[in-house]
Amino acid sequence: MSVYKAVILSGSPFSVRADDAPHPDLSQIKGKIPLLGVCYGAQYLAHFNGGIVAPSNTREYGRARLTAIKNDEPFFYQITDGSQVWMSHSDTIKELPTNAVVLASTGDVKNAAYRIEGEDTYAIQFHPEVYHTTQGKLILENFLVHLAGLKQSWTPDAFVDTTVAELKAKIGNDKVILGLSGGVDSTVAAVLLHKAIGKHLHCIFVNNGLLRKNEFQDVLDQYEHMGLNVKGVDASARFLDALAGESDPEKKRKIIGKIFIDVFDDEAHKVEDAKWLAQGTIYPDVIESVSVTGGPSATIKSHHNVGGLPDFMKLTVVEPLKMLFKDEVRRVGASMKIDDERLGRHPFPGPGLAIRILGDITREKVAILQEVDAIFINGLREWGLYDSVWQAGAMLLPVNSVGVMGDERTYEKCVALRAVESTDGMTADWVDLPYEFLQKTSNEIINKVPGVNRVVYDISSKPPATIEWE
């Protein structure tokens, strides 16, 4: 174990009280090198070392405030009382483990942080790694840098140099097909690969019929100026026909993933000797879909670019961004001089509007949502709000409600607007958009989009909700 300078026990969807819960052997770690337990990790250290972990009386999700912080502890150096942290657990630590002392509490959680005396063993019930734990980065720095003595050597420039060298060595002169989406992740992946293999990269941008209004042509036009070899493929009818009548969100995602593979397989046969399929997969995609290490990780929702390729597709996957979060991807893109407008583009789900239309997909519903979405997104830009929002979009709900227009009764669709702030998508909080903006946007949607007579605004955070509704 001497090769490790510190160990972090992460969160988990399991309860430490369950028979099938993860049970790591800490005999060569605990008390010998710095150890930090986070959420499940904190409960694990308590449960198996003389403490008591029990179901919480309430679900503890979202924001909380640290109180009674022991600032004289190196672990909480410069952490201020009242600092916001992010909770996500259903069990709670009722009694601390042997030789433990409390380092901080919250209004609902007495044992929000503790350490084991005589060891460099620390535990916290909240998640320091997420954006909405406002001093989480400082807490991790205190543990990793000041307590464990690790050096902060990662930089975007170093990542680019290392990744380009690795791609050159791995791919050589082979041809690579990359599925562009127009978003930040696939664009950064494309530029990285282009730096490594140049003309051997063949980019394909697929119109799945579920893009934003006019997005297919707009994106193709933008890529013209980046020096990439990009081909546009309009497969919208293929996707929409395959989705007809399907309402289950996971099945919709699976259908879209299969069609994407089929389309890429068709295009791969048109590129002679293509051997690789590149994807802009990032770490949150992996976490929400499947455990990257094979360990326990709950599938929140499937991502069409996660999970490998079917046997019939004779391409090997390459994912240069697989271990990065969204904010890191943007920093890498900036280091390669990708323009700010493209790097600042809001994330857009791979399945597109299919998972923003709750229920079955029809061409009519797609057209309605495209118009609603365009009004919302263009409005954010016009009001100077776009860059203060991490992701925004509209959801078409499977709900009709009674309205009145021109003294006549209507019975039409309801749409929900969603705007969140985040850095990596792992956690998110709703944005308090100005009432005047929401009022104008609602009026414009109802007046200009036939079939919609009601607009609502989503004010739920992640967790417990997700950013997308499906």
**From 124-133, 208-217, 260-269, the region with the lowest mean pLDDT:** 260-269
φ and ψ at residue 191, rounded to 5 degrees: -65, -40
Report whether 104 contacts 76 (CB < 8 A).
yes
Omega before 97 within 30 of 0, i.e. cis: no
Question: Each residue of 321-379: pLDDT tens digit?
Answer: 999 988 899 999 999 999 998 899 998 988 999 999 999 999 999 999 999 999 999 99
- CA distances, 55 to each of 21, 64, 98 (Å): 15, 18, 20
The pLDDT value given to residue 60: 64
Question: Which of these, 426, 467, 307, 429, lies nearest to 39 by C-alpha position?
Answer: 426
Long-range contacts of 409-413 (CB under 8 A, 24+ apart): 410/453, 411/453, 412/451, 412/452, 412/453, 412/454, 413/368, 413/451, 413/452, 413/453, 413/454
Q: List the beta bridge partners of residue 169.
A: none
Band (171; pLDDT cuts 50, 70, 90): very high
Question: Each residue of 174-200: pLDDT tens digit?
Answer: 999 998 888 899 999 999 999 999 999
Q: Is 9 helix (H, G, I), strand (E, B) or coil?
A: strand
Band (132; pLDDT cuts 50, 70, 90): confident
Is the confidence at residue 453, as pLDDT, over 90? Answer: yes
Is the confidence at residue 297, as pLDDT, over 90? Answer: no
d(CA 62, CA 64): 7
d(CA 90, CA 212): 38
**From 12-16, 139-143, 337-341, 358-362, the region with the lowest mean pLDDT:** 12-16
Q: What is the pTM of this model?
A: 0.74
**From 63-72, 117-126, 205-214, the region with the lowest mean pLDDT:** 63-72
- Position with higher pLDDT, 131 vs 65: 65
Average pLDDT over residues 146-161: 93
The pLDDT value given to residue 313: 65
- Catalogue the active-site residues: 39, 127, 129
Cα-only R_g, the chain:
24
The pLDDT value given to residue 99: 95
